[in-house]
Chain A
């Protein structure tokens, strides 16, 4: 079962932090369809946050079709984000590691690498291209 944590300094809304953690867990295979999400009360108590915030996060997951509430039982995950991509992750990760080594060898610092990845990600459209989003 997922154990939620909160980043106190993050500007991301609390409910969204919960949503992202579930998605992350689904992506890396730590959570799977059929898993029950922790009870609202338990999350609220453990994190000392408003139970309505937890409910809001669970509703968001339901809206996205990732989870399903079963009255009187709890909220269950019904879909995964890992999909076929999970199978390729190990291979991609190995390639990325090799690339990172090359980048370091080329003298790029950690910040340089992050910036490079960020700009490249932004410049590479997922869907039909919008106006150039690369920062000036």
Chain B
């Protein structure tokens, strides 16, 4: 049975390997270049010195960060590609697994041999699941390595897209995508429709969780500090900022998506404050942000992965029941 599974899927395995190698051929050189620029420019050392406190004495790293960002922020679009990998596994590994057999009628050949259908299911799903697991672990580690400089340079690991391709969540997504593909195959019983269903359903479920569940995994924290505070919010802390702005004395949000620094290094702190008060109303004016702090990364990862693993178990169970009824 293991021999059969390998013989049937070796072409897919080779294609997968080739695709991953091609991807690595792009990511490894750019990753290495990014990392060396990050260190050689002194940005790495600067950010290390700055630390990860939420409020810091802002300063020296901005210029370096800007320069690094100008050079490499555009490569972040590759992260979009990385986000697509799990659904590709679902479409090309999961969907054909049962659908191709039923479409060609070969399920009637293989299920009438000496081994039981239960064993066929266990071996097939087990092997494909194991391969998927290994691939997704490698994928998550590789993506995390590649994105590290960009994340450190202010992107943060909790952000959309960045969060989605590292840690353990990609493992959950990939297993879920493959399970979804298999189930779609047992429903559609033909390869192309199964691929279409699994693609659509995967995007729908991912979007739902990402937009309507993930922001509420834990209650958001708020950070406020006076606009003349010598310390400012650390742009490199890696927080996931939902909303920020400046509130005046009545509590109204008078400057959305902005922050004001009338700190001592500006010189005329009092004059600055007076001018601001003229524009934005009564003192005291405070900078305000609603956010998830960076240290919740692994909690969020665990919850997200848990959701998708639970869905995977559910889908596999349904798929097994359906396979046992196909004739």
* A touches B (Cβ under 8 A): no
